[in-house]
A and B are shown apart, each in its own frame.
Chain A
Amino acid sequence: MRKVLMKGNEAIGEAAIRAGCLNYFAYPITPQSEVAEYLSKRMPEVNGVFLQGESEVAVGYMIFGAAACGARVMTTSSSPGISLMSEAISYIAGAECPAVFVNIMRGGPGLGGILPSQADYLQATKGGGHGDYRLLVMAPASVQEAVEMVMQAFPLAEKYRNPIMILGDGLIGQMMEPVVFPDDLKTEPGNKNDWATNGMDFRGSDKRNLVRSLYLDPEVLNAQNLKLKAKYEQMKREEIRYESYKTDTDYQVLIVSYGTMSRVCKTAIDNLLEEGIRVALIRPQTLFPFPEAAIRQAASAKSCRVVMSIEMSMGQMLEDVDRSVQGRLPVEWYGKCGGDVPTPEEVADSVKSFLQKYSKE
C-alpha cells in the first residue's frame, strides 16, 4: 500500500473506519478536533454515522447505547472532555460493553492550555470515573503506531468487553508523519450475541440480553466486581506491551518514558552515548497494564545507578515506576507540563545531574 502523509488526528479517524467502526460520536475540542472534522466527511462516504453530540456527557452515553447494541463505536476528545465522559465510561465498564475512547491530551488542570501534555496519566490508568474498573490504556509514540493501536483496540475491547483508551499527547494528534495502513479488519464483534440487545429473534436465542450496571443485591454486585477484577488480571497476563531501547548495553541510567516524550528521550540517549554516558529506555506501549516486570528486571542491571520517569506530567507515572522498581534503585522524576515539550538537551542535562548525584554514593 502507498505511503501517505497524514496528521495524527486524521489517521486516527481513518484507522477507525478501516477497523470496521461505522459509528462515531464526538464533541469538538482542541487539539483533537480534526478527528471529528475528518470523520464528518468520511463517515457518509462509507455509510457510517457521524454525530456531533450536544456535549461530551451526551456523547459518552451515545457510545454506551451503540456499544450495547453490538456496534463498533469510538469517540475522541481531549482532557476536559474526557472528564465529562468519565461517568459514562464507568457505566460502560460496569455493563461490560466494548468501546474505544481516544484522549489527545492538552495541558491541565481545569481549562489548562491547548499545547501537548501527558497530564491525564492517572485519570486514564487509575479510574477517572467512579467504581472498581480499569481501562486497557495504549500509548502511541508515532502516527503509524496510533493507527495500529486504534485498529487493534476494537478487537481488544470486544475480547474483554471493556472500554479501551488510546492516550496520546497533543503532538500525536497534531503532527504529520508518513503512514501505511494495515489491512482492513474484516471482522465484526464475534461475541456480540453474548451481550448485545440485538433482538432474541435476530440472534436465534431464548436468552434475554440485559445491559446494566445496577446490581442492588450486595452479593451479586460483589460477584460482578470479582468478575471484572478477573478480567483486569487477565489483561496484566496477556496485554502488556513495551519497547526496549539500548537495554543490551551496560547502561548507567534507565529511563521510563512514553509517547512523544519517549522520542525526545531517544534523541537524548543517542547524544549522551557520544559523550560516553550509557542510558537505556523502557517505553511502555500499554500504561495499564503497566510493564512492571520489565522495568524491575531492567532496574536490576549491575551497572545501573538510577531510574528516571520522564513525562509531560508532574510525576504521575513516577508512582508506577517506583512501584515497579520496588526499592532496588533510586527513582527520580523529570518533566514539564505547560505545553513546552522538554528538549533533548534538557533531558540530557537532567540525566547527567542525577547520574552525578548517584555515582558519588
Chain B
Amino acid sequence: MDIQLNGLVIICGNYGSGKTEVAVNLAAYRKQMGDTVQIADLDLVNPYFRTREARKQLAELGVEVILPAEMYIHADLPILSRSVSGMIRNSAGLSILDVGGDDAGATVLSSLANSFQGKTPRMLQVVNPFRPQTETLAGVLKIKSAIERASRLSINGFVGNANLIDETTPEIVFEGYELLTRVSDETQIPLEFITIPEELRDTVSADKFDVPILFIQRQLIPPWKLTGRPRTFLPIFSETG
C-alpha cells in the first residue's frame, strides 16, 4: 500500500504531535519516489525544531522549501512568506504545508483563506496517542474541532504518529494504531497513513496494518546524537544558519 496523496496537503495537529517530522519525511520520501515536491514552513508558534531546521537537507534532495527570509530564520516573529499563497495557487505535484501546533498554530491558515478558494486541500491531523492531550478519542476530537475553528478548514484525514522517540517499541506502534482506527471509525474520516521509526522497519510487519506506512527517519534530533548514525540527510544544528 502506498501513500496516495497529491496536490495540496496541510499537516496540522496538536502541539508536539510530530507534524514536522511527518511533513519532512513525507516530502523526502515522495521526492525520492520521483515526484515533484514543495514544502512550506508555516510554523509561526514554535521557536525550535521546525521544518526550516532541515531546509538544507531538503533542498539538496531537490524539494522546494518555502521559508521566511534567511536573515529572519532565528527570529521568534510570526513571519508568513509571501511565496506561500503563490504555492497554494499554483501547486504542482505534492505541496505540503507544515502548520504550527494546536489552534494557535492553525490560525495562520484562516489568513490564507483567499488562496484556498476553489482548492480542495487534504487537511491531515497528526496524532501521537502518547502525547497527554491526545491519549483518548475525546482528546483527539477536542483538538480537531479547535483546529477546524481556528483554520476555517475541515480535517479530512488522520495520520497516526505513535512514538516515544528513541523509546518507541512495536507495542507503542500497535497501541497507537488501535486508537487511530477507533478515531477513524467514529469520525468516518480516513486514517491516511501511520508512521513507524526506520529502526523498527524489520521488527514490525506491515501486513498487520490496513493502511499505508511512512517510515520515519528522525531529522530534528538533539545535538548529542549527531554522530555515529548514517542518515540520508544531516540533522539540525549541523550548520551555522
Contacts and interface: CB of A to CB of B under 8 A. Distances in A.
Most buried by A among B47, B76, B225, B240: B47
A175 B221 CA distance: 9
Contacts, number: 82
A260 interface: yes
Interface in A1-58: 3-7, 10, 14, 30-31, 34
B49 interface: yes
Contact of B16 (A30, A114, A176, A267): A176
B205 interface: no
Contact of B222 (A3, A31, A115, A171): A171
A113 interface: yes
A4 B47 contact: no
A7 B130 CA distance: 12
B165 A177 contact: yes
A359 B162 CA distance: 50
Given A263-B222, A344-B224, A345-B227, A5 B165 contact: yes
Closest 10 CB pairs of A and B: A341-B223, A263-B224, A178-B164, A174-B48, A264-B224, A30-B76, A267-B224, A5-B130, A344-B227, A30-B47
Contact of A266 (B130, B135, B164, B224): B224
A350 interface: no
Given A3-B130, A341-B237, A115 B225 contact: no
Interface of B: 15-16, 47-49, 74-76, 128, 130-132, 135, 163-165, 167, 222-228, 237-238, 240
Contacts of B130: 3-5, 178
Nearest to B221: A175
Chain A interface main SS type: mixed
A160 B165 CA distance: 38
A102 B74 CA distance: 23
14 contacts: A4-B132, A5-B130, A6-B132, A30-B47, A114-B47, A114-B75, A115-B48, A174-B49, A175-B48, A267-B226, A271-B227, A344-B224, A344-B227, A345-B227
B132 A260 contact: no
Nearest to B46: A174
Nearest to B241: A340
B132 to A, nearest CB: 5
A115 B74 contact: yes
Given A171-B48, A174-B49, A177-B165, A7 B15 contact: yes
A339 interface: yes
Contacts of A271: 227-228
A222 interface: no
A343 interface: yes
A144 to B, nearest CB: 11
Most buried by B among A5, A10, A343: A5
B218 to A, nearest CB: 11
Given A5-B131, A177-B165, A114 B223 contact: no
Contacts of B15: 7, 34
Contacts of A345: 226-227
A360 B10 CA distance: 60
Interface residues of A, number: 33
Contacts of A170: 48
Contacts of A7: 15-16
A267 B48 contact: no
B167 A3 contact: yes
B43 to A, nearest CB: 13
A176 to B, nearest CB: 6
Given A5-B16, A31-B48, A114-B75, 14 more contacts: A4-B131, A7-B15, A10-B132, A30-B76, A114-B76, A175-B49, A178-B164, A260-B222, A263-B224, A267-B225, A341-B237, A343-B223, A343-B226, A344-B226
Contacts of B228: 267, 271
Contacts of A3: 130, 164, 167
Interface in A164-201: 170-171, 174-178
Interface string A230-260: 0000000000000000000000000000001
Contact of B224 (A31, A113, A260): A260
Contacts of B48: 31, 115, 170-171, 174-175
B107 to A, nearest CB: 14
A96 to B, nearest CB: 36
Interface in A116-158: none
Given A30-B76, A339-B74, A178 B165 contact: yes
A30 B167 CA distance: 28
Nearest to B167: A178
A279 B226 CA distance: 19
Contact of B164 (A5, A175, A343): A5
Interface string A333-345: 0000001111111
Contact of B135 (A4, A171, A177): A4
